Structure 1
Amino acid sequence: MRANRPWIDATVEDAIKRARSRLGQGPGLSRCETCDAEIPQARRRAVPGVRLCVDCQEAEDRAQGAAAGYNRRGSKDSQLR
């Protein structure tokens, strides 16, 4: 079981890198760049560099999640197929 740990660590590190790359920086927009809806002040304070309204962000997250796939290098399921 100890032998699988490097693969698990690599999977976690990959996920952290992906999440950090999506974090915004700097001032956010007051209107959504996709649909032009107003972005509430509370969201702009909570999410640095926000560029999308909640609805558009959720749609983008779903699209990225479907395309991301899984890192199955150390998975038992991948060994069974």
Structure 2
Amino acid sequence: MAGGWAKDGAVQDQIDASIDDAVQQARSRIPAGESLTRCEECDAPIPEGRRLAIRGVRLCIKCQEERDKEETTHSPINRRGSKDSQLR
């Protein structure tokens, strides 16, 4: 039951929209096309197994790990469930 001026199910609609946005963002980051043989950031060779496993790979493992680490630490999405976290 929603309170105030919100319709019933508004909270669930917001949750669903957040999930849809996150899925769309993740899909947009999936590489496509031909894989590179050398990393586009550090010019290190990309192992053949990685190129075969991931279509369109552009980074070596080390550079990809660094990029993944940066993305997870700067996430703008509030993952905490309490209302208090939204007030901070």
**TM-score above 0.5:** yes
The 2-side partners of 1:41 and 1:50 are apart by: 11
Greater C-alpha Rg = 2
Q: Comparing both chains, which one has the higher relative contact order based on Cα–Cα distances under 8 Å and sequence gaps of 6 or more?
A: 1
Offset of residue 75 of structure 1: 5.7
Given the superposition, is the C-alpha separation of residues 57 and 76 from structure 1 closer, same or farther in structure 2, using an over 3 Å criterion?
same
Tell me the matched-pair count: 80
Give the corresponding residue for 1:77.
84
Unaligned runs of 5+ in 1: none
The 2-side partners of 1:17 and 1:68 are apart by: 15
Higher helix share: 1
**Mapping of residues 42-57 of structure 1, within 5 Å:** 42-57=49-64
Q: Percent identity?
A: 54
The answer as to whether partners of 1:31 and 1:38 remain within 8 angstroms in 2 is yes
Output the TM-score relative to the length of structure 2.
0.75
Runs of 4+ in 1 over 3 A off after TM superposition: 77-81
Unaligned runs of 5+ in 2: 2-8
- Residues 2-55 of structure 1 show CA distances to partners (whole Å, capped at 9, x for unaligned) of 442111101111110110110011101011011111111111111111000111
Cα RMSD over matched residues?
2.2
Given residue 54 of structure 1, which amino acid in structure 2 is its aligned partner? I
The alignment status of 1:16 with 2:23, answered yes or no, reads yes
Output the TM-score relative to the length of structure 1.
0.81
